[in-house]
Every structure is written in C-alpha cells, then in structure tokens.
C-alpha cells in the first residue's frame, strides 16, 4: 500500500504517500532529500520527533506551519477539516508539492504521476505553501 495520492492539502496541491522512495521516483529527486511528514495528531508527532521544551506551545498552536526539528525531520500537524479527514487513515504520511521541481502546478502532470486522485469539493488549487520554521534547542529560524 504505497500508492501516490494526489490531494488538495491544507496549503497547496500535493503528492502524498506512505513511501518516501516512491515519492522520490515520482518527483525525480535525490534519495538524500527528505520529505515533509504530515499527521493529524499531536501524539503522532511525538512519535517522530522531540519538541524542544521552549517551543511546545508554539508547535501546538501553529496552523499551516512546518517545523524542522533538531533531528532534521520536517513535520506538520494538519488542522484542516477536509485534508484532515483524508490523513486520519494514516498515522503519518510523506508529502510534497504536486509539480515538477521549480515549476508551477500542472494538472496534467499531476494526474499522470498519481496512482489515486483524492478530490473534494474544493477541487485543486495551488495556494500559499506552509511557513517553515527550523527549531533548535533554544533558537527558531524562519526559513519561509
């Protein structure tokens, strides 16, 4: 069960899969480059990373924000009704934008590369990507 899903995420149109290897193939990326991990539950986040004590409240309250933790894992807890209902089937899932690297969203490309298309009443719309904040033990740095 390592299909590539095409879905409208809480931020933009994305490819999602339980397999980072399959996403690497679809996106034609190097194996070294990690993907964003998304989950719907704070307790699942805690299985993946350790949140620096200083930033626990910030992480819990943030919306549409991806945090890169001291172990270099990028994780976002999704709090969006539509996308959350899809993600609940998984403890966590890897996510990336549904476009060729450096190019805007192309519906034909995305449909061709996806195994399963998950479309809700919102359709597919390239919106603003999530904010990215890198956390260390005592510092935070806004990357996007």
Rg (CA), the chain: 15
Q: What is the pTM of this model?
A: 0.85
Structure tokens given for 119: 């479309």
**E strands in 3-135:** 5-8, 13-17, 36-39, 65-68, 74-77, 93-97, 116-118, 131-135
pLDDT per position as a tens digit, 15-63? 889 888 888 888 888 777 888 898 888 888 888 899 999 999 999 998 8
d(CA 6, CA 16): 6
Class of domain 5-142: alpha beta
**Which residues make beta-bridge pairs with 68?**
74, 134
Length of the chain equals 144
């Amino acid at each position: 069960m390592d299909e590539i899903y095409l879905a409208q995420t809480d931020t933009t149109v994305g490819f999602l899969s339980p397999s980072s290897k399959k996403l690497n193939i679809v996106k034609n990326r190097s194996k070294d480059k990690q993907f964003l991990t998304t989950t719907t539950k704070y307790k699942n986040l805690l299985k993946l990373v350790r949140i620096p004590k200083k930033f626990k409240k910030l992480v819990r309250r943030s919306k549409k924000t991806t945090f890169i933790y001291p172990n270099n894992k990028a994780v976002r807890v999704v709090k969006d009704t539509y996308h959350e209902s899809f993600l609940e089937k998984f403890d966590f899932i890897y996510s990336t934008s549904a476009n060729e690297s450096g190019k805007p969203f192309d519906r034909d490309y995305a449909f061709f590369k996806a195994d399963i298309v998950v479309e809700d009443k919102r359709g597919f719309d390239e919106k603003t990507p999530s904010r990215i904040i890198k956390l260390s033990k005592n510092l935070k740095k806004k990357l996007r």
